[in-house]
Amino acid sequence: MCRWKIWANLRPSKPIAAALAAFFCLLLAWPVTAQGEIKVIESKQESHFAEKIVFRLTAQSDATIEQVLLFRQLVGEQVKLRTRPDFTPGQRIRAEYTWKLEPGDLAPGAQVSYFWEIVDRAGHHLRTEPQVFSYDDNRFQWESISRGQIAVNYYGGKRDVAEEVLSTAEEAAERLQKEVGVVLGKQVRIYIYNSRSDMRAALMPRGGVYDARTVTLGVMMGGNTLLLLGSDPKVRVTVAHELSHIIVGQATDNPYTDLPRWLDEGLAMYAEGTLLPDNAQALQKAIREDRLISVRSMSGYVGKPEQVDLFYGEAYSLVDFMLKTYGKDKLDSLLETLKAGVPIEEALRQVYGFGLDQLDDAWRVSLGLRPRAEMQATPTALPAPARRGSPVCVNPLAAAWFVALILIVIFHRR
């Protein structure tokens, strides 16, 4: 009791009291802060183009780290992959995961996001902030030029080719916007390769024979990336065609339905400008011989190799007919309806008031041909079969000659 009175009578000054209070608060908080804290020492990744991406993590905790998970996804996509990297549990761990890749699995320049989840034995949990990196084709020293939403990447000092590709891409995008009403909504990345061998590692292989006999001039990857073979003289046509697929794909992207092949390829051919001679000749020959592929058949076209030129010629002709006959507003409305997931047959009826078969007939008439429906409805004249039991009319003169012939044969044998 006396000791308490003495302490009470001391009455320390306010500064001393504040210092004592801060000391006791720090003393009470110290064990809580020190225990169970998980720290990331290092988090990094290393890319080897067309081979692998290696993710590495170094972390420590006061308690044994028992679980490490790696989450990764492509930026802009919903799918998120979870994997368990290799590591040995402990208070300080080094975890590593190798994402094995094949050529064409990821587009050059693809943006990859990833983060770690770490749990220790004390039940503490840490989720790191997402890290984003670019999966680049690091075999080459890339340079870039861009205007607006289009960026062209090149190497080896081929700036003149890059400028030509960029100008062509701008013209194609402007043509689609002006004459079709489709606008480029997101940035497009174009990568120009100088040779087939350079480009091969970026493409998904289709088989030894196919790859040996086929030259890929351009291919769309990842929805907004275009790979081009810059050394080919048809590079201008290729960039216009493939860029159309990207722009139209962005405008109609939905998880329910795909764009019909004739419309997708027709718009791409239209973006090129003038129809190529091989396609035009195949189209005119089919019109003369009245053997056009039907619009319904072209919706998911998987035809004979010898009909490829005809298919692309027809797709161009059909889109050209729709634009000139019904206008770009109608076609733009059709693309909007398809974006909502409406199948092509119903989308045509909602926008134009008719379906695939009626579109086929109207297009054929514009080319000077009869409607396909009219041709199928016209009966073909065939001889009527004789009815069983019905009387048979015989020519008397023919019958007399027949009897005479039999008698001659009989007397001759005698």
Question: Which pLDDT score is estimated for 12?
Answer: 47
Q: Domain for residue 208, yes or no?
A: yes
pLDDT tops 90 at residue 26: no
Q: Are residues 128 and 148 in the same domain?
A: no
Residue 171 lies in a domain: yes
Same domain? For 158 and 98 the reply is: no
Residue 260: predicted pLDDT: 94
Q: What percent of the chain has pLDDT over 70?
A: 79
Which CATH number characterizes residue 180's domain?
A: 3.30.2010.30
**What single DSSP character describes residue 387?**
P
**pLDDT, the chain, mean:** 83
Question: What is the per-residue pLDDT for 306?
Answer: 84
**Pick the residue with more confidence: 104 or 413?**
104
Burial class of residue 131 (count of CB atoms within 10 Å of its CB; 0-12, 13-18, 19+):
middle
pLDDT of 78 reads 87
Q: State whether 103 and 178 are in the same domain.
A: no
The domain tally of the chain equals 3
**Res 213 pLDDT > 50:** no
Nearest to 134 by CA among 228, 67, 225: 225
Q: Which of 104, 135, 166 is the last residue of a domain?
A: 135
Which of 212-226, 262-276, 388-402 is least confident? 388-402
Average pLDDT of 120-136?
95
Average confidence (pLDDT) over 13-30: 45
Confidence of residue 223 (pLDDT cuts 50, 70, 90): confident
Q: Where residue 302 falls among pLDDT bands split at 50, 70, 90? A: low
- Cβ atoms of 169 and 145 within 8 Å: the answer is no
Containing domain of residue 54, as a range? 38-135
CA–CA distance from 310 to each of 77, 244, 284, 305 (Å)? 36, 20, 9, 10
Mapping DSSP onto H, E and C, the string for 43-80 reads EEEEEECCCEEEEEEEEEEEEEEEEEEEEEEECCCCCC
For the whole model, what pTM was predicted? Answer: 0.75
Residue 202 has pLDDT above 70, yes or no: yes
Expressed in angstroms, the distance from the first to the final Cα of the chain is: 167
Question: How far is the C-alpha of 388 from the C-alpha of 292, rounded, in Å?
Answer: 43
Mean pLDDT within 366-395: 59
Domain assignment present for residue 401? The answer is no
Predicted pLDDT of residue 303 = 67
- Tell me, what's the pLDDT at 54? 98
Could you tell me if 259 and 359 lie in one domain? Answer: yes
For the cut 70, the answer to whether the pLDDT of residue 37 exceeds it is: yes
Q: How confident is the model at residue 377 (pLDDT cuts 50, 70, 90)?
A: low
- Residue 32 — very low, low, confident or very high, per pLDDT cuts 50/70/90? very low
Q: Do 348 and 359 meet the contact criterion of CB atoms below 8 Å apart?
A: yes
3-state secondary structure of 398: helix
pLDDT score for 3: 40
Please state, as a whole number, how many other Cβ atoms lie within 10 Å of the Cβ of residue 164: 17
Averaged pLDDT for residues 162-184? 93
Q: Is residue 359 part of a domain?
A: yes
Q: Which residue has the tokens 């169970």?
A: 36
Same domain, 262 and 368: yes
Residue 25 pLDDT: 44
Q: Is residue 317 part of a domain?
A: yes
Banded pLDDT at 329 (limits 50, 70, 90): very high
Dist. CA 401–CA 9, nearest whole Å: 159
175-187 average pLDDT score: 90
Which range, 214-218, 255-259, 298-302, 374-378, is most confident? 255-259
* Same domain flag for 329 and 260: yes
Residue 36 pLDDT grade (very low, low, confident, very high; cuts 50, 70, 90): low
What pLDDT score does 374 carry? 74
- Is position 10 within any domain? no
* CATH of residue 110: 2.60.40.10
Q: Which two tokens stand for residue 153?
A: 């990447």
Q: Is 353 within a domain?
A: yes
Q: What is the pLDDT of residues 344-355, one digit of tens each?
A: 999 999 999 999
Question: How far, CA to CA in Å, does 112 sit from each of 115, 178, 225?
Answer: 10, 35, 14
Model pLDDT, residue 376:
64
- What CA–CA distance (Å, rounded) separates 159 from 201? 22
Q: Say whether both 369 and 318 belong to one domain.
A: yes
Q: Are 153 and 109 in contact (CB under 8 A)?
A: yes
Q: Which of 69, 100, 135 is the last residue of a domain?
A: 135
Q: What is the pLDDT of residue 206?
A: 66
The pairs formed by 157-164 with CB atoms below 8 angstroms and a separation of 24 or more are: 158/192, 158/194, 158/230, 161/192, 161/230, 161/235, 162/192, 162/230, 164/235, 164/236
Q: Does pLDDT of 395 surpass 80? A: no
Question: Is the same domain home to 57 and 127?
Answer: yes
Q: Is 317 left (phi over 0), alpha (psi -120 to 50) or beta?
A: alpha
Tokens 């080094």 correspond to 94
- Between the alpha carbon of residue 403 and those of residues 178, 393, 396, 411, the distances in Å are 85, 17, 11, 13
Strand pairing of 188-193 and 225-229? Answer: parallel
- For residues 102 and 181, membership in a common domain is answered with no
Say if residue 357 is in the same domain as residue 318. Answer: yes
Pairing of strands 125-127, 38-48: unpaired
Alpha carbon distances (Å) from 79 to 72, 82, 114, 198, 204: 9, 10, 12, 30, 21
The lowest-confidence range among 26-30, 91-95, 149-153, 367-371 is 26-30
359/364 Cα distance (integer angstroms): 9
Residue 275 and residue 368 in one domain = yes
Q: What is the CATH number of the domain that holds 303?
A: 1.10.390
Rounded mean pLDDT, 234-253? 92
Whole-angstrom distance, CA of residue 300 vs CA of residue 36: 59
**More confidently predicted of 399 and 80:** 80
